[in-house]
Amino acid sequence: MTSLATIELDAQATPYMPMPAKLVHAEQFTDKERFFRWELPTELEIKAGQFIQIGVMGVGEAPISITSAPGKRTSIDMCIRAVGDVTNALHRLEVGQTAWMRGPFGNGYDVKQCEGQDVLFVAGGLGLAPCRSFIAGVLDNRDKYGDVTILYGARTPADLLFKDDLEEWAARKDVKLLVTVDKSDGQWAGHVGLITTLFRKLTIDPTNTTVFVIGPPIMFKFAVLEVLALGIPENRIYCSLERRMKCALGVCGHCQIREVYVCKEGPVFTYQRVKRMREGI
């Protein structure tokens, strides 16, 4: 009989072999999104923007962004939306039960690259999940960065994710947090409008600012236009194409954009690179 110890060892030797991960904390964020914290059998080195292939035996696996701070970790956080067989099966797991993981995958982004600069995060909807890793990487070494601004938009107040984090960021004097919802519930006292309307409240130094834009395609399109209008060059605007992931190994071709396998070369790219990919340059 194969022991868990053998499975763990094999998982480190090949990207095809999953390792067991124990669910140690779960919290329902919204009707569709749930927060998970997984205890790992071995330490993993994580970069912001990377993802994990996570699954339930007999059901399948899915690529999910890591929301934890980058670095060496023996546990990782995820925010998973229930949209299919695998994610619904994960939502049914209880604390103490086991899922199976492969990874981490993707090149991710080393936040040390923008040390000494101002940093602007623009996250829409579930895009706050992967963006949280970037934010944590910067805030854990706050003295190494300039101004830190976070823009976050959701459809309604009920759709806001990571509310504890939002409260913590809002309370910090060294972070500027602006939150908006597309539609108020009648009790919401904050800003109402698309995330692009928050840009009117910004004062940015385009010569010394790195920007991360993560969210649904329609939000990304218009948010990038706002960022470009601020004078930020295309090579200092970063985005994640993690929605296109599937096998994580460049085998299935699901994530291929022209000659680029997003799961292997990304999912984090500069907007300059994304633009070239779309144009076939």
* CATH label of the domain that carries residue 33: 2.40.30.10
pLDDT value for 244: 65
Whether 255 maps to a domain, the answer reads: no
Based on the fold, state whether residues 122 and 226 are members of the same structural domain.
yes
CB neighbourhood size of 139 (10 A) = 20
Based on the fold, state whether residues 40 and 119 are members of the same structural domain.
no
Based on the fold, state whether residues 32 and 55 are members of the same structural domain.
yes
Share of the chain above pLDDT 90, in %: 75
**Which residue do the tokens 């010569």 mark?**
207
From 131, 139, 26, 141, select the one nearest 75 (Cα to Cα).
26
- Give every CB contact of residue 6 below 8 A, 6+ residues apart in sequence: none
Domain final position from 52, 82, 105: 105
Residue 227 is part of which domain span? 111-240
d(CA 7, CA 233): 46
Q: Which residues of 178-201 are buried (b: 16+ CB within 10 A; e: fewer)?
A: bbbbeeeeeebeeeeeebbebbee
Based on the fold, state whether residues 234 and 115 are members of the same structural domain.
yes
Residue type present at position 149: T
Domain final position from 71, 105, 139: 105
This prediction has a pTM of 0.91
Number of domains composing the chain? 2
Based on the fold, state whether residues 11 and 130 are members of the same structural domain.
no
Based on the fold, state whether residues 97 and 125 are members of the same structural domain.
no
pLDDT value for 13: 61
Whether 252 maps to a domain, the answer reads: no
From 200, 177, 169, select the one nearest 120 (Cα to Cα).
177
Domain final position from 105, 128, 150: 105
pLDDT in tens, the chain (281 residues): 445 444 444 545 677 788 999 999 999 999 999 999 999 999 999 999 999 999 999 999 999 999 999 999 999 999 999 999 999 999 999 999 999 999 999 988 999 999 999 999 999 999 999 999 999 999 999 999 999 999 999 999 999 999 999 999 999 999 999 999 999 988 899 999 999 999 999 999 999 999 999 999 889 889 999 999 999 999 999 998 876 667 777 777 777 877 788 878 878 999 998 888 777 54
Whether 269 maps to a domain, the answer reads: no
